[in-house]
Amino acid sequence: MGKYKVTFLPDQKKAEVEEGVTLLEAAEEAGAYINSLCGGQGLCGECRLQVLSGNANADKHAIGFFSKEEVQDGYVQACQTRVEDNLEVLIPVKSRLEMEKIVTGGAPVTYSEPGKLSLRKIPHDPASLFEPLVSKIYLELPEPTLGDNISDIDRVTRELRKRLTYPSFEISLGCLQKLADKLRQHEWKVTATVARHNSIGRVLQLEEGDTAERNYGLAVDVGISTVVVQLVHLKTGKVVGVEANHNLQARYGEDVISRMVFACSRGSLAPLHKTVVTNINTLTRALAKEKGIDTKDINCIVAAGNTTMSHFLLGLMPCSIRLEPYVPTATVYPQIVAKEIGIHINPHGIIEVMPSVASYVGGDIVVGVLACGLADKPEITCLIDEGTNGEIVVGNNEWIVCCSASAGPAFEGGGTKWGMRATKGSIEKIEIKDGRVTYETIGKAKPRGICGSGLIDSIYELAKNKIIGQDGKFNLSVNDKRIVTEDNGPQYILAFPEETETGQAVTITETDIGNLIKSKGALFAAVKSLVDYVGLSFEQLDAIYLAGGFGSSLDISKAIAIGLLPDIDTQKIQFIGNSSIMGARMALLLGPAFETAIDISKKMTNIELSNYLPFMNEFVAALFLPHTDSKLFPSVHY
Amino acid sequence: MGKYKVTFLPDQKKAEVEEGVTLLEAAEEAGAYINSLCGGQGLCGECRLQVLSGNANADKHAIGFFSKEEVQDGYVQACQTRVEDNLEVLIPVKSRLEMEKIVTGGAPVTYSEPGKLSLRKIPHDPASLFEPLVSKIYLELPEPTLGDNISDIDRVTRELRKRLTYPSFEISLGCLQKLADKLRQHEWKVTATVARHNSIGRVLQLEEGDTAERNYGLAVDVGISTVVVQLVHLKTGKVVGVEANHNLQARYGEDVISRMVFACSRGSLAPLHKTVVTNINTLTRALAKEKGIDTKDINCIVAAGNTTMSHFLLGLMPCSIRLEPYVPTATVYPQIVAKEIGIHINPHGIIEVMPSVASYVGGDIVVGVLACGLADKPEITCLIDEGTNGEIVVGNNEWIVCCSASAGPAFEGGGTKWGMRATKGSIEKIEIKDGRVTYETIGKAKPRGICGSGLIDSIYELAKNKIIGQDGKFNLSVNDKRIVTEDNGPQYILAFPEETETGQAVTITETDIGNLIKSKGALFAAVKSLVDYVGLSFEQLDAIYLAGGFGSSLDISKAIAIGLLPDIDTQKIQFIGNSSIMGARMALLLGPAFETAIDISKKMTNIELSNYLPFMNEFVAALFLPHTDSKLFPSVHY
């Protein structure tokens, strides 16, 4: 690997870095301060730089952040651009601010390696795909004459037809009722707000004068634990801001099942519907305030969530989702006026909820498939979206199968004594060597608990050091002061009371380990069943993408070693972070993306594992470290 | 012409009648009493008979009154079926009632000669075209299983797809929100109400159990003077009832122009919108009560009216219709929920307003073209729809041109001293011979005034008897006690005070005659201009259909003689009555009719006569009896 020189203008700060280092990292090395709200996650679009010389191109998702002109002018995101040439780069004034951390409530809102993501079906220039769900078109209409006295609405659509490709247009009665006066009072100069609905252009609103700049949309990830909202300027396609909060539905149950039980036992989903709407309204208001825009200028929303969350959001009863034979009310949702469900944006603004596949394969996974480009290429890809519920997809551009795995919340910190989300103070990395424990915490704070990656590390390290057996049980013959036995059985002390924030020891219990083994067993068994189902072996997978709950600190080798992930070349396995919000944003901005998502949802064959005998066998076989069939993990040796 | 024997069962009443006599007339002759609410206008469907032997077929419009099975079983309308064979006919119990007159407030709701009307593009069996705008489909769905666990809405649409031809279905959020519970609470037995919207099936409502019988629609003729509502059973296509009332908008002006002035000068069309909605609601309520149905079972409305009336109905500002360059807000109207404009039917029910062509060529004339089959055949037809505004169409299956002629209300009785609508007591026929006047009045009552046909007769008779000259001026040298001169000039007494209802003489003044000549001149000039415009002569017209305001008592020869109608073979000229409501009903019931109406509206080229120089010349030339160019009226000799 070569080294390259990068010069940052205007201050001529220089760094010599390894090939593949990001421009953001290079800037840090050069001592040039670049704003990056999201901490280099490719999410906020704040770290924009202009490449003046040398070869460094915007990635395909730049369309989320830059106009076509800016892409041509060499604008890139520092955090998403790897150095592969000597470069001269300008830091624009707006990007030269102090760093600050975005408050996302611990939401794992990240995506990386966008170079690996694609929409290969369609041309390479992302700007050419730019076709927002809602367009605002400023019209200066010719005044009617006797020789040209078509109706007012025909005059509007005649002009719209020149600017938009919809074969036909529809208009609401309310809009039509105001049309004649509006056109005449404002000298035939109006801005039309047009939403795409199937292939029809729906004229939502007509405003006086040129308001085309004032056109925003929201990409919303409605997660079980967190709700994330990205504010996007639809005219330019730029991400203006992002906010996240904890899903208020948590008060009715941590997981979807308990929330469904809550709603269905009362016969009312109103509380669950209202809380998630409040989540979105709160974030929207905060973003609008922060960015100085009017919420009335937000004209559309694309939301992605699992099937149950989508039902809650739209006020659809999810009760039959929960019980065999697991039937949702709908998997493709109507485009509706957001106001209809109490969301406060433009009162004419619309919301599209991304299509689901089945009760336990939701729109979040559909847009995940969209975002990772699985359906675009002939190579076979596996996408594992791990959250409170796990979803697995295997497929390529010809076929897609998927399933859901109730892996439980163990990897998100639930169901274990000291488990916690990947926030400040959680142990995210652990090593045990010769009886000594070393760990890293998020924010380098005193330990408060263990997050998913820490738990995976722990199990691996305990097994490797023979402190637990491959069945997950403590080897009580080991003499270690860290092994203590309490009422609930043996446990291992990862951090002594004097090291921790709370003054209590952070431990992992045998029960925790048992739960984690069940979780990893369920996930692995699901992947194995799906790959078997299509007659493939793990070796035939071209890539495994990990999305959602897996923290970026996950040690892939250790995840393989405990039997969570298949034992394939670790180079083939990569994080893609929050593919859900990325996919929702693509659907918001790119013409073909929305239709592609619908196609994907229709193409996906869902395998119901709960009733699939091979899965049960695989699950039982996977309740071992790494697996009862050691031939499946040739590289793993304890 | 031959004679045929008709036997009416069960009473074996017999008549021998001329070929071409209607079965209703034959029954009268035989002394068999058949119910006919509308007085033989083909409107009410009450005079149904079953032809047991002999050749007599239901006409193409029977679909409005009979089910497919009934058509096959030989059911016909007595008033619409002409005797052309020896027949044996059963009078069903329901048709054996006493005659009663329907109160339609004088609305000229008639259509006759349906054999001449066609939808030739499409197959001959009208039952095969039956595809109501709103269908109700009773579904007994299979319960979901693990092997068949598609979403609830997919389960519904999968079944609908087998029964309806729509390529895709849409459902409102409100309907979707109730779906899961409704299906499960009612054992998967529901009735779906599906409206056609473009080519998509819109699921409007889902009801428990089988309610498919309870499906009604309204065909509405929104006229300037009268509003007519037909209640149609959409499952069978039968007309259940008809009601009419005077357009309440009359309080804001007799004609559309004064109503527009009223609305636009106040900047509010609310009063005009509300009154016409009240008209429809009143009629709907009366019909529902009369027929013992629930207005909630009325699921759709097709309304036809001129462009201004359509604007008023939908709450669209019509102000720019009135002024050059005569621009309507829209000519094609969105399908909306009827409730949105305050119409009280099923709250999910829809209303379609038939498309207009331009400001002065409305949906009434478009459906008139539909109803008379002008656009179906290669022969060239002229349709003259005469009402408060006159509209003229010339065309065939390849091209259609149209124009409107502000002929004024003279032929409806407006603008003349003793003019009145064609209601009881109006003089409808007049003959003057050797100084003696004979007349007929409607209802054989004492004269109260003169209706359109009476006025036409009067002018012809006065001119023929040289009482007026061909310029419309009185020949004061004639010595006739009926000619009297008052302050406003000379007038002719048609009925002396002792003959009349009011005790006042019914007269026609020179001013009246002048107004009538202007009206007939405008109408003729419009027809002439349109025919000239397309490079044709009158002889090339295959047929002239008269619709709307012309009473069925109009003497066509006299109308030609005064220069109102072109001087062509009178056999080619015929009444078709209220083509507007007939077309609206066709759009309500027949699959292709609705789309055909849209096609017709797009195909029609409107010629704006107000700025068309040849029209002005034609108009001036036509201000003479019959015309300044006598070569145009070779058959007319005074």
Select the more confidently predicted residue: A535 or B114: A535
Chain A CA closest to residue B352: A173
pLDDT tens sequence across A199-230: 899 999 999 999 999 999 999 999 888 899 99
**pLDDT (tens digit, 9 = 90+) per residue, A294-337?**
999 999 999 999 999 999 999 999 999 988 899 999 999 999 99
Which pLDDT belongs to residue B191?
97
Q: Cα distance from B636 to chain A (closest Cα, Å)?
A: 38
In this prediction, residue B106 has a pLDDT band, given cuts at 50, 70 and 90, of very low
Highest mean pLDDT among A20-34, A279-293, B596-610: A279-293
The DSSP line for A501-554 is: SSSS-EEEEHHHHHHHHHHHHHHHHHHHHHHHHTT--GGG-SEEEEEETS-TT-
A531: which residues sit within 8 A by CB, 6+ positions away? A382, A394, A537, A538, A541, A566
Kindly determine whether residue A315 and residue B154, on different chains, have CB atoms separated by under 8 Å: no
Nearest to B325 among A144, A154, A314 (CB): A144
Across the range B410-429, mean pLDDT stands at: 79
- pLDDT over threshold 80, residue B610: no
Q: How far is A326 from chain B (nearest CA, A)?
A: 7
- pLDDT surpasses 70 at A66: yes
Q: Does B329 touch chain A (CB under 8 A)?
A: yes
Nearest to A331 among B151, B171, B324 (CB): B151
B483 three-state secondary structure: strand
* A327, A332, A340, A352: best to mutate for the B interface, most B CBs within 10 A: A327
A314:B176 CB<8 A: yes
Q: Confirm or reject contact between A329 and chain B (CB < 8 A).
A: yes
Query: For residue B55, what pLDDT is reported?
Result: 85
As a whole-number percent, the residues of chain A with pLDDT over 70 amount to 89
* B118-to-A402, B57, B113, B150, B375 alpha-carbon distances in Å: 55, 15, 11, 45, 9
Q: What is the mean pLDDT of residues B336-361?
A: 94
Q: Does B534 contact A at CB distance below 8 Å?
A: no
Res B131: pLDDT: 87
Closest CA to A35 of A101, A81, A88: A101
Nearest-neighbour CA in chain B from A475: distance (Å)? 43
A171–B329 C-beta distance less than 8 A? no
Question: By the CB < 8 Å criterion, does A385 face chain B?
Answer: no
Residues of chain A contacting B340 with CB distance shorter than 8 Å: 173
pLDDT of the residue at A40? 60
Element (H, E) at B529: helix B510-533
Lowest mean pLDDT among A247-261, B103-117, B179-193: B103-117
Average per-residue pLDDT for chain B: 86
pLDDT at A498 over 80: yes
Could you tell me if B270 lies within 8 Å of chain A, comparing CB atoms? no
Task: List Cα–Cα distances, A173 to A159, A201, A276, A495, B311, in angstroms.
Answer: 20, 15, 30, 66, 11
pLDDT of residue B59: 66
What stretch of H or E contains B400? strand B400-405
Q: How far is A332 from chain B (nearest CA, A)?
A: 9
The band of B58, judged by pLDDT with boundaries at 50, 70 and 90, is low
Distance from C-alpha of A411 to C-alpha of A559, rounded to nearest angstrom: 11
Interface mutation vs chain B, best among A156, A177, A178, A343, most B CBs within 10 Å: A177
Predicted pLDDT of residue A123: 35
Closest approach of A624 to chain B, Cα-based (Å): 30
CA distance, residue A271 to nearest chain B CA (Å) = 15
- The residue ranking higher by pLDDT, A610 or B332, is B332
* Predicted pLDDT of residue B123: 35
Among B152, B314, B327, the residue with its CB nearest the CB of A330 is B152
pLDDT in tens, B454-479: 999 999 999 999 999 999 999 989 88
Query: pLDDT averaged over chain A?
Result: 86
Angle at B196 between CA B192 and CA B198, to 5 degrees: 150
For residue A358, the cross-strand partners are A361
Instruction: Choose among A108, A63, A225: nearest CA to A547.
Output: A108
Q: Which of B176, B184, B311 to mutate to test the interface with A (most CBs of A within 10 A)?
A: B176
Q: CB of A352 within 8 Å of any CB in chain B?
A: no
Minimal C-alpha gap between A334 and chain B (Å): 7
Q: Between chains, do B320 and A184 touch, taking CB under 8 Å as contact?
A: yes
Q: Is B325 exposed, middle or buried (0-12, 13-18, 19+ CB in 10 A)?
A: middle
Convert A290-317 to b/e letters by CB count within 10 Å (16 or more is b). Answer: eeebebbbbbbbbbbbbbbbbbbbbbbb
pLDDT surpassing 80 at residue B81: yes
| pLDDT at B46 exceeding the cut of 80 | no
How confident is the model over B152-164, as pLDDT tens digits?
999 999 999 999 9
A516 phi and psi, to 5 degrees?
A: -65, -40
Q: Note the Cα B342 to chain centre separation in Å.
A: 24
Looking at residue A36, what is its pLDDT? 57
Most confident of A97-106, B134-143, B540-549: B134-143
Specify the pLDDT at position B118: 37
Closest by Cβ to B180, choosing from A180, A181, A317: A317
Chain B residues in contact with A359 by the CB 8 A cut-off are: 149
pLDDT band at A377 (very low <50, low <70, confident <90, very high): confident
Most confident segment among A347-361, A539-553, A567-581: A347-361
User: Does B316 contact A at CB distance below 8 Å?
Assistant: yes
CA B265 from centroid of its chain's CA atoms: 31
Q: How confident is the model at residue A104 (pLDDT cuts 50, 70, 90)?
A: very low
Chain B residues 140-179 within an 8 A CB cutoff of chain A: 144-146, 148-155, 170-173, 176-177, 179
Q: Determine, for residues A327 and B150 on separate chains, whether the beta-carbon distance falls below 8 Å.
A: yes
- Name the residue with higher pLDDT: B68 or A260: A260
Identify each DSSP E strand in B81-181 by its residue range: 87-90, 134-140, 168-171
Nearest chain A Cα to B270, which residue?
A177
Residue B262 predicted with pLDDT over 80: yes
| Nearest-Cα residue of chain B relative to residue A312 | B177
Of B172, B177, B611, the CB nearest to A316: B177
* Whether residue A363 has pLDDT greater than 90: yes
Query: How is residue B488 annotated by DSSP?
Result: T
What is the pLDDT at residue A1? 64
Least confident span in B104-113, B454-463, B551-560: B104-113
pLDDT score, position B550: 66
The pLDDT > 90 percentage for chain B reads 54
Nearest alpha-carbon partner for A442 in A362, A572, A552: A552
Mean pLDDT (whole number) for A577-595:
83
Residue A197: closest CA among chain B residues belongs to which residue?
B170
Written as six digits, the tokens of A434 are 């010769």
Structure tokens at A529: 């069943």
Burial of A193 (0-12, 13-18, 19+ CB in 10 A): buried
Sheet holding A350-353, edge to edge: A238-246, A226-233, A216-222, A298-305, A350-353, A336-337
Residue of A31 and A478 predicted with greater confidence: A478
What token pair was written down for B205? 């409502």
Measured CA to CA, the distance from residue B16 to residue B24 in angstroms comes to 13
Q: What is the DSSP string of A540-598?
A: G-SEEEEEETS-TT--HHHHHHTTSS-SS-GGGEEEEE-HHHHHHHHHHHBHHHHHHHH
- Find chain B residues with C-beta within 8 A of A325's C-beta: 144-146, 148-149
Q: Tell me: pLDDT of B99 over 90.
A: no
